[in-house]
Structure 1
Amino acid sequence: MGFQRQLVLFIMAFMNFSYEHKAIAQWPPYNSIVSQVTKHTDPTNNKPLYSVEIMTKYFWGDFIHTNFLIDIDTPFIWYDCILNYDSNPTENYTCPSKTVCADPVSCGEPECRDIQTSSSYKQYSSSCPPATNSLTLPGWSGCTCPVSIVDPINGSCGEGLLGISELYFEVPFFEGLFPNTLCAPSSTFDLFPANVSGVMGLSTSAYALPSHSVTNGVFPRAFSLCLPSSVSKTGVFFLGSSSYYFSPHSKVDVTSYLSYTPLLNHSDSFGYFIGVKSIVIKKRAINVPTNTTTKLSTLEPYTILRSDIYNQVVRRFLKVTRELTMAKPVAPFDFCYEASTNGTKVGLKVPDIDFSLEDGKKWTVHTANSMKQVTKDVACLAFVEGGATSEHGIVIGTHQMEDNFLKFDLVNWTLGFSSSLLTKGTSCASFNSVNH
């Protein structure tokens, strides 16, 4: 029992599996793998959320595909699965056909002790009661390893059981045996968007996917996100680092568009932070107070500004857009504009908003990312006030990330950003997998 036993079984299974799939299976070296990203609407509050599709089970010639909510803060990978123990799984595998199963990790094994005593876990689960729901599975003498989990949508506490899972990535094909993943009950995902039944931790934690022991050393410790701007189109997620080509520019590597800024450490978070020195609107700089933290979030839909920063930004924005016709505000926005004239839709364009970074680079927020079309006739400034005492001065939300290519490089500890791909004549929905 334990990881060594699982590794032997994995090698045996992979030899059989790769023979059957030799037409598509590849094994490193290659530098990255690709999965599609889907935009969803949160059923509880109508805000956008994003998922990455990963295959979680191979059964009778087909895969079960699971959509994992993208979370760049959470330290773990957890999803809808059950722990299943069989003393001889290669001959008598009892996992139900439409259920995803993982092999249990005993509460007495080092993996369990490591995760429950790590500073990552204690920091993440500090608001939750200790996980105590240990079980004994049929045919197994060990006890399971319970781990507290936090719902990224509403912050509620739950429990998962530590296991060893098989995850499959399709382009190029990669199969990995992932220890330190968590199985959570199906009911955990009742309030998630339809067809989303997992959480993909992409944070700086050692248990998150970018630093996971299975991928670390196989792929460069990096990942990239390109979030789609429509629920009818898909974006892309890349694990690793490579060249990427988006139609119609089949010979232009999209990473050539990137500027880079350092990622900053924050002692109380597994998330990603950058240094913003000022916010520039039409050549006028709004200074950001020293020591202000700027966080990136895949859960907040719109950029949040602390009150002192927000008030200066909107004052300047209103001044440079005074020729536009104001409309009645639409929650959660404070400032909206008419986007039609006499019933005819017009192309609303506003001045760029630049995040001026500490190293002299600038992340430009163009109209598509600064304005949110809330009705066919009204568009609103997609920045919201966070209050006078908000923890972070700036939280960059997903509306400002859509159709931007973002590369999180954990080797060089940098963020690569493209600003809007729309200005380059392409989008996150235009990835050309043929050239990958």
Structure 2
Amino acid sequence: MSHPSSAFTYLYTSPYQLVPMVVSVRPFFWSLLSLLISSSIAKTSFRPKALVLPVTKDVSASSPQYVTQIKQRTPIVPVKLTLDLGGGYFWVNCEHGYVSSTSKPARCGSAKCSLFGLHGCSEEKICGRSPSNTVTGVSTYGDIHSDVVSINSTNGNNPGRVVSVRDFLFICGSNVVQKGLASGVTGMAGLGRTKVSFPSQLASAFSFHRKFAICLSSSPMTDGVMFFSDGPYNLNMDVSKVLTFTPLITNPVSTAPSAFLGEPSVEYFIGVKSIRVSGKNVPLNATLLSIDRNGLGGTKISTVNPYTIMETTIYKAVSEAFVKAVGAPTVAPMAPFGTCFATKDIGFSRMGPAVPAIDLVLQNEEVEWSIIGANSMVQLNDVICLGFVDAGSGPSTAQVGFVAGGSHPMTSITIGAHQLENNLLQFDLATSRLGFRSLFLEHTNCANFNFTPSA
């Protein structure tokens, strides 16, 4: 198997954008993607309506990661992957222990290469892109390959038969880029808005609706779930029937650790118009909530950042409003959090800590994403903290993405994984909209999918 070629050179223009010195650009249409990938489905009379994967909260690394497991290669082996909601690509470490008789390189000039948009070409005439570890911010160059991938089908209630895609595209990573992932994890599953992300390839292979849904469990002892295609999403009830919807927004500038100049972001942005605490508007510089022509500002959703990160002025305004609404004294902060209380001063209910809701007001005054106590607070022994982090003091630049030469984050608000737990999020790539619902409102949780296979 070919590995990253040292002959390929990048010209770095900033810490977050790079230009290849050899690139290939080809036009692409979704019909081509469907034709190319659909032809790679393992021959079978069974065509699934949806697919399902378990999602485990892994706390073995320095911060929580949300991990799934697929089957890949010939002979087939289990492969653990960290989920990256905004990642554009599936990559796996080919440098250590990758053996497969069905792995095939993508040759320069091929239709497979064109699916990746801008890409490089090695001396061996294999096209490639940069696999990025968005946990650490490390990127390298890697060859593009395809191989067999297998996954369980589902009717929305249980796992069903295993189905396979013969030519599932991925990028070869290395030991260097793998470093920092959770124990046993050898790559990342990008779920972002590209033609070769996990959801896009599976939708094309099986002629699905271009939708997927993710539901993160709050406990490492119980699995959450991810669905590919439309509902039902049965978590003691069909959650797909109770979703609230808001448009997804495209940032014209990539916010990834590495990207080609001119590429838009493949992450998921939503239009937060204002923020309320306990029903009252928080005074903010509203221009920070919009995305400008340089790609700065706005609100995105991340499974890689463990907690919500806010630009400093936004964080301070929300924190001050929250402390006032709680009405309890604060205590010394505990990193990375800046707003903490004594646990004894905070009550508890079925919805978690009994604190005021933090509402993200979306496209109009009637649509809100309400962050309740279970998602807004983090328990640290006898101290309980607001689970939001000031971008000016706490987060890693690798995970957030900062403006080159400065201390300001490119994105004003990054909604982190703790705030997503026990919420079902449906991403509709065809209509560019997000469906969301807190499962606390439905008296259920993300661990309630029945992973017992159907007969």
Give the TM-score of the pair, scaled to structure 1: 0.78
**Residue of structure 1 equivalent to 2:338:** 334
**Residue of structure 2 equivalent to 1:80:** 93
Change (3 A) 1:145 1:303: same
Q: How does 1:113-128 map to 2 (within 5 A)?
A: 113-114=113-114, 118-119=117-118, 121=119
Q: Which runs of 5 or more residues in structure 2 are unaligned?
A: 1-32, 153-158, 254-264, 291-296, 393-406
Change (3 A) 1:101 1:260: farther
Equivalent in 407, 411, 422 of residue 430 of structure 2: 411
**Residue of structure 2 equivalent to 1:52:** 68
Q: CA deviation at 1:301?
A: 1.0
Q: What does the per-residue CA deviation read over 1:316-371, in whole Å, with 9 as the maximum and x for residues that have no partner?
A: 1110112x343321100011111148xx9997421111111113311111101000
**Residue of structure 2 equivalent to 1:33:** 51
Q: Which runs of 5 or more residues in structure 1 are unaligned?
A: 19-25, 84-95, 122-129, 136-142
DSSP 3-state at the match of 1:430 = coil
Structure 2: distance between partners of 1:303 and 1:374: 17
**Residue of structure 2 equivalent to 1:242:** 231
Q: CA deviation at 1:433?
A: 4.5
Q: CA deviation at 1:82?
A: 6.9
Change (3 A) 1:10 1:221: closer
Between 354-363 and 173-182, report the one with greater CA deviation.
173-182
Q: CA deviation at 1:153?
A: 1.6
**Residue of structure 1 equivalent to 2:222:** 233
Q: CA deviation at 1:241?
A: 0.9
Q: 2:215, 2:422 within 8 Å by CA — same for their partners in 1? A: yes
Equivalent in 362, 369, 373 of residue 363 of structure 1: 369
AA of the residue aligned to 2:274: S
AA of the residue aligned to 1:107: R
Q: What does the per-residue CA deviation read over 1:144-190, in whole Å, with 9 as the maximum and x for residues that have no partner?
A: 43432222121122232211111111233221123431232355423
DSSP 3-state at the match of 1:263 = strand
Q: How does 1:134-173 map to 2 (within 5 A)?
A: 134-135=123-124, 143-170=125-152, 171-172=159-160, 173=162
AA of the residue aligned to 1:77: F
Does residue 275 of structure 1 match 2:271? yes
Q: What does the per-residue CA deviation read over 1:27-72, in whole Å, with 9 as the maximum and x for residues that have no partner?
A: 22x43110000111263xx21111121111464xxx5211111112
Does residue 185 of structure 1 match 2:174? yes
Q: 1:81, 1:102 within 8 Å by CA — same for their partners in 2? A: no
Change (3 A) 1:220 1:435: farther
Structure 1: distance between partners of 2:312 and 2:95: 45
Change (3 A) 1:72 1:315: same
Q: 2:199, 2:211 within 8 Å by CA — same for their partners in 1? A: yes
Q: How does 1:99-114 map to 2 (within 5 A)?
A: 99-100=99-100, 102-111=102-111, 113-114=113-114
Change (3 A) 1:10 1:379: same
AA of the residue aligned to 1:190: K
Structure 2: distance between partners of 1:393 and 1:187: 30
User: What is the CA RMSD across the aligned residues, in angstroms?
Assistant: 3.1
Q: What does the per-residue CA deviation read over 1:215-239, in whole Å, with 9 as the maximum and x for residues that have no partner?
A: 3662110111101111111100111
Q: 1:35, 1:52 within 8 Å by CA — same for their partners in 2? A: yes
Structure 1: distance between partners of 2:211 and 2:370: 23
**Residue of structure 1 equivalent to 2:21:** none
Q: CA deviation at 1:214?
A: 6.3
Equivalent in 305, 321, 325 of residue 316 of structure 1: 321
Q: 2:216, 2:421 within 8 Å by CA — same for their partners in 1? A: yes
Q: CA deviation at 1:7?
A: 8.9
**Residue of structure 2 equivalent to 1:66:** 79
AA of the residue aligned to 1:333: F
Q: CA deviation at 1:108?
A: 3.6
Q: CA deviation at 1:113?
A: 4.9
**Residue of structure 2 equivalent to 1:385:** 390
Q: 1:245, 1:435 within 8 Å by CA — same for their partners in 2? A: no
Change (3 A) 1:157 1:10: closer
Structure 1: distance between partners of 2:85 and 2:348: 37
Structure 2: distance between partners of 1:263 and 1:424: 24
AA of the residue aligned to 2:443: G
Between 158-167 and 234-243, report the one with greater CA deviation.
158-167
Q: 1:80, 1:100 within 8 Å by CA — same for their partners in 2? A: no
Structure 1: distance between partners of 2:102 and 2:74: 13
Q: CA deviation at 1:213?
A: 7.2
Which structure's CA Rg is the greater one? 1
AA of the residue aligned to 2:343: A
**Residue of structure 1 equivalent to 2:16:** none
Runs of 4+ in 1 over 4 A off after TM superposition: 6-11, 344-347, 433-436
Equivalent in 222, 246, 253 of residue 238 of structure 2: 253
Structure 2: distance between partners of 1:210 and 1:8: 14
AA of the residue aligned to 1:295: K
**Residue of structure 1 equivalent to 2:293:** none
Q: What does the per-residue CA deviation read over 1:60-115, in whole Å, with 9 as the maximum and x for residues that have no partner?
A: xxx521111111222211113479xxxxxxxxxxxx9x844552225344146525
Structure 1: distance between partners of 2:200 and 2:446: 25
Change (3 A) 1:58 1:426: farther
**Residue of structure 1 equivalent to 2:302:** 297
**Residue of structure 2 equivalent to 1:139:** none
AA of the residue aligned to 2:342: E
Structure 1: distance between partners of 2:50 and 2:221: 26
Structure 2: distance between partners of 1:212 and 1:7: 7
Equivalent in 175, 185, 192 of residue 196 of structure 1: 185
Q: CA deviation at 1:409?
A: 0.5
